[in-house]
Structure 1
Amino acid sequence: MSTVKEAVEVDVPLHTAYNQWTQFEDFPNFMEGVEEVTQLDDRHNHWTTKIGGIRREFDTEIVDQLADERITWRSTSGDTSQRGSVRFERLDDTHTKVELVMDIEPSGAAEKVGDLIGSIDRRVKGDMKRFKRYIEERGAESGAWRGRIRPGGAGPAL
């Protein structure tokens, strides 16, 4: 399993950066290779990706979500095994640090080679730079979900 870690400072307030990250269906706007994300409910998303000509579909579950602080997830089905967390840190009234940490288990020969040569790491770094550009150019979030998802299977709470 490979761990990828990347942080960016974005020129928007904390709540704006966090709120935008909760809009999973907008991820194809800044994540390379992500064709579609369908939010099934507050906890579950279905992903369709195409990376290096290989199309994959998988599901993820949000296991911990606290507004303006963090979103943590894990994959639950499909060929892609991953887990990760994105954290948000207020730097001042108009600047936020967004830090993404992901553990990814590449599947298939092409993905394993890609991991060895650093393509997963480069893609994540690029995604974070594109998120910065995306949210700064918008200047405002496209939506928001401010609920709470607790670890251990407890349902969402508002």
Structure 2
Amino acid sequence: MSQIEESITVDVPVSTAYNQWTQFERFPVFMDGVERVEQRTPTLTHWVAKAGGQRREFDAEITEQIPDERVAWTTVSGEVRQAGAVTFHRIDNSHTKIMLQFDHAPEGIADTVGDKLGFVRRQAKGDLERFKKYIESRGVADGAWRGEV
């Protein structure tokens, strides 16, 4: 099991950053390798992703969601085993620190080698950088889900 921790500061208010992050079906726009995310229920998402040339599908359950503060998840079925949280920290009225923390269990030899070489960590860092570029270029979120789990 690998533990990944990455953070980034975005130049938008905390509510804007949080609102965009709750738009799971938009993740393919900024997450490398994510082909599709379907929001099946308020707490269940289905993912289709490509990693190491292999297509993978899995379901993830939102285990905790607090507006403007935290979204936590765990995979519940499929080929990926992962659990984590993203937290949102208000720096001031127009800046937010986003912290991404998750545990990732590599599947098979290719995943284990890629994990040891830092692929998952680099991908998480790149995804956060692309999220920053995306939300800052827009300045507003595509939508919002403000419910609590």
TM over 0.5: yes
The one-letter amino acid paired with 2:137 is E
| Aligned residue number for residue 141 of structure 1 | 141
* Separation (CA, whole Å) in 2 of partners of 1:48 and 1:113: 22
Cα offsets for 1:70-114 (capped at 9, x unmatched): 000000001110001000000000000000001000102111110
The one-letter amino acid paired with 1:136 is E
Specify every segment of 5 or more residues in structure 2 that has no aligned partner in the other structure, as ranges.
none
The one-letter amino acid paired with 2:68 is D
Matched, 1:74 2:78: no
* Separation (CA, whole Å) in 2 of partners of 1:121 and 1:134: 20
What is the correspondence of 1:1-158 to structure 2 with a 5 Å cutoff? 1-149=1-149
User: What fraction of aligned residue pairs are identical, expressed as a percent?
Assistant: 54
The one-letter amino acid paired with 2:91 is L
* Separation (CA, whole Å) in 2 of partners of 1:48 and 1:112: 20
Root mean square deviation of aligned Cα: 0.5
* Separation (CA, whole Å) in 2 of partners of 1:28 and 1:108: 24
Q: CA deviation at 1:51?
A: 1.4
Q: Runs in 1 of length 4+ with deviation above 3 angstroms?
A: none
SS in 2 for 1:74: strand
Structure 2 length-normalised TM: 0.99
Q: CA deviation at 1:52?
A: 1.8
* Separation (CA, whole Å) in 1 of partners of 2:121 and 2:63: 23
How many residue pairs get aligned? The number is 149
Specify every segment of 5 or more residues in structure 1 that has no aligned partner in the other structure, as ranges.
150-158
Cα offsets for 1:19-55 (capped at 9, x unmatched): 0000000000000000000000100000000112110
Structure 1 length-normalised TM: 0.93
